[in-house]
Structure 1
């Protein structure tokens, strides 16, 4: 049974992976595999593809563990960025788009983003975090909240968000930057 995220030493596990200790990768997978699959599923929306991506992420984590730099962020965050980047690459490679009218697209985007956030909060059992960030997200203007949700839940790039919202790329980047700052302030 996985340890709580507070009790598990992700950095030590990555150092052990870098040293060639296979048991460390197994422990990482047992600790985070289901949550990694949840994150990847939210991005690719295909179970078989998500499982393949999590497998590839574990291989990348194993082979690149020595490149982890704690000065740049947390070990757990690094693990998730490996999986998330692979998932985003898979989506970009597939490029499946369905054309709908603007009103429908806007309504679907808003609904899907909020549902994705709720699903993610449930899937990861982050009640404390979700309880804290939910009200902070609600304080943001709807368009800015959707930018954040599209970027961090749906896995869209800034240019994809700009196209979806029919807003200038620079504006979308500014909205995301300011919204992240507002969220940081709200959570502190």
Structure 2
């Protein structure tokens, strides 16, 4: 749970929070920028964490974060409330990440050590917990790191 809260402390969405996200998506489809702001505040950590885990580049992850919410604003009418709203948002981020990877051919990557350190530093954890998190993430392979992040934001 320590790793999951480090990636996104608000990740475990309750049914009520998911329902509020669905209502916000409907409002965004009608043009509400206030609802888009609420969605952004709810999902930004998950989108950024996922994007950073895929792209390994801070600037690209930030670009994907912002592009994702532009896409949400233009595509919200296409959301079908039968699924999970966070999964729909992460799918948009995933598609943007893969498009960016194809475009940039992964030229600039954040080294594994820097990425793990940034995750631990952004976690809002005590110094002791940060050290434990860094050590744990350092022991994982790149694939295992990605699995942990995907599990946390899915």
Structure 1 and Structure 2 fold alike (TM over 0.5): yes
1:123-171 superposed Cα distances (whole Å, 9 cap, x missing partner): x4x7xxxxxxxxxxxxxxxxxxxxxxxxx9xxxxxxxxxxxxxxxxxxx
Counterparts of residues 135-174 of structure 1 (less than 5 Å):
none
User: In the alignment, is residue 111 of structure 1 matched against residue 122 of structure 2?
Assistant: no
- The structure 1 residue matched to 2:95, chosen from 85, 90, 115, is 85
> Following the alignment from structure 1 to structure 2, what is the Cα–Cα distance between the partners of residues 33 and 39?
10
CA contact (8 A) 2:55 2:106 kept: no
Q: So what's the TM-score if we normalise by structure 2? A: 0.63
Uncovered stretches (5+) of structure 2, i.e. residues with no partner: 1-8, 108-139
Partners in 1 of 2:93 and 2:106 — Cα distance?
A: 20
Q: Show structure 1 runs of 4+ deviating over 4 A.
A: 1-4
User: Aligned Cα RMSD in Å?
Assistant: 2.7
Query: For the residues of structure 2 that align with 1:90 and 1:61, how far apart are their CA atoms?
Result: 17
State how many pairs are aligned: 111
Structure 1's 4 and 114: CA in aligned 2 closer, same or farther, altered over 3 A? closer
Tell me which of 66, 76, 92 is aligned to 2:77: 66
Specify which structure has the bigger relative contact order, considering alpha-carbon pairs within 8 angstroms and separated by 6 or more residues: 2
Matches within 5 A, 1:5-84: 5-6=13-14, 7-8=16-17, 9-71=20-82, 73-84=83-94
Rounded to whole Å, the distance in 2 between the matches of 1:4 and 1:111 is: 25
Please identify the structure whose Cα radius of gyration is greater.
Answer: 1
Change (3 A) 1:75 1:92: same
TM-score, length of structure 1 as denominator length: 0.52
